[in-house]
Amino acid sequence: MSQQQVRKEIQDALETLNKATVEEKEEIRKMMRDRFSHAWDMFNEQKGRVKEKMAHSQEILNERFQQFDHKVQENPWPYMGVAAASAFILGLLLRDHHR
């Protein structure tokens, strides 16, 4: 076999290997897309559910805050008493802690 024939054989082998590699790469790419597209769809579905729950929780939190604010506006004295008692107890705890 001449050197030129060997080069031709090597070149043909490399071309065949390159074609097989391209086909395999496309097949692997398709397989990965199929597998990950399902996972991506599930992720997006869960993401939508989480956003809905967060929006619902935000609505409930806003309602509760408005109710609390309304109660404090109607009769602030019990809340002021609780705040004063809490401050007094905290002061006693901190005073004892620094001795």
Write the pLDDT tens digit of every residue in 1-53: 677 887 788 888 878 877 777 777 778 778 777 777 877 888 888 999 999 99
Torsion of CA 75, 79, 85, 89, to 10 degrees: 180
Cβ atoms of 89 and 96 within 8 Å: the answer is: no
Q: How many domains does the chain have?
A: 1
| Locus of tokens 């007094």 | 88
- Position 39, amino acid: A
The residue range of the domain holding 92 is: 3-97
Please tell me the pTM assigned to this model.
0.47
pLDDT at 97: 65
Considering only CA atoms, which of 93, 96, 73, 75 is closest in space to residue 85?
Answer: 93
Phi, psi torsion values for 98, nearest 5 degrees: -85, -5
| Locus of tokens 């004892």 | 96
pLDDT digit string, tens, across residues 41-90: 888 889 999 999 999 999 999 999 999 999 999 999 999 999 999 999 99
